[in-house]
A and B are shown apart, each in its own frame.
Chain A
Amino acid sequence: MIALLVRDLRLAIRAGGGFGLGLAFFLLVAVLVPLGVGPEGGLLAKIAPGILWVGALLACLLSLDRIFALDFEDGSLDLLATAPIPLEGVVAIKALAHWLVTGLPLTLAAPLLGVLLNLPLTGHGWLVLSLFLGTPALSVIGAFGAALTVGLKRGGLLLSLLVLPLYVPTLIFGAEVVKRGAAGLSVEAPLLLMSAITLGSAAALPFAAAAALRINLR
């Protein structure tokens, strides 16, 4: 299992795309939005939590189809399915690897972009915490979507269509945490609910994703 994690991380680093693209996309969103809505600080501060969360979510979406598609094409997935690791474990590890190369860098870069978007200083801590606890759910849900569409030729667009509605609860609670945190209100409820979604997804979705993979490998 650890070998799989190490391999996936190594591949992501060597291929270059992993970290870089998602982060660059996230940065672009944070730059383009002020250009679109105008430079007024108050307005930006107000919409910053939502923009940052939507940006992180879309950046995460960019690399989802690579979770299984590459291994499917070169035959590794067949071999992993016959290897002694349970396929559920493969899914969980691959989701973790995806989070380490997208979710985690996005979380760490977020405060910088928060500054660009005039997010009040009190909100930064909550921004990092909410992304830290919420982006794992995005990776696991994304791995489920990637497992559903792995054999398809034009799977990328379909993947977005399938995954984005599933992202709704995480997005709502995550952005709510930042919004409330920035306004100095209590964030307990949305933070707990979002963490519950992350934990629930991490516990249950690898099974659904492994089932989908087995169906697709038939």
Chain B
Amino acid sequence: MTIEQKVESAIVTFLKTQTFTDIPAAQIYRGIEHDAAESSENYTQTRILPCIVVSCPASTASDPTSGNRMVVPEISVQSQADDSTNAAHLTRCAQVFAVVATTTFAASISAALADFYCFFAVPADGGSRIEERSWASFVTMRMMVCGADIS
């Protein structure tokens, strides 16, 4: 598993332990936006809305020799615009982002996955966008991580 996959898996595993009003654990996804092409018959089944998508597309070395990595994963909340008001979407986002932007987040995701450690995690950028007919609001986290258990 790459460090990017580990970051996504650790965050998804942690988020699935949390309780959200209308986003069940099965609707918390890891990875790129869509697993299937838009033309695929499976396209509409790849993401059931509302959902949370955790994506960590890249990492960089924190220094030349340690093996520790800097990553900026994006945690986005997506709601169907046709059956959800923007206010309801933002309420949903507030629930999700409240469990992410905490001083215990780094420790929580470190404990969520074996052979993974997060040194620190601080909120970075955030924003909203329209994707197809869904609202998508996101926050990115600036994190230093490694693929080993550090004590």
Answer whether A and B are interacting partners: no
Chain B positions near chain A (C-beta within 8 angstroms)? none
| Chain A residues packing against B (C-beta within 8 Å) | none
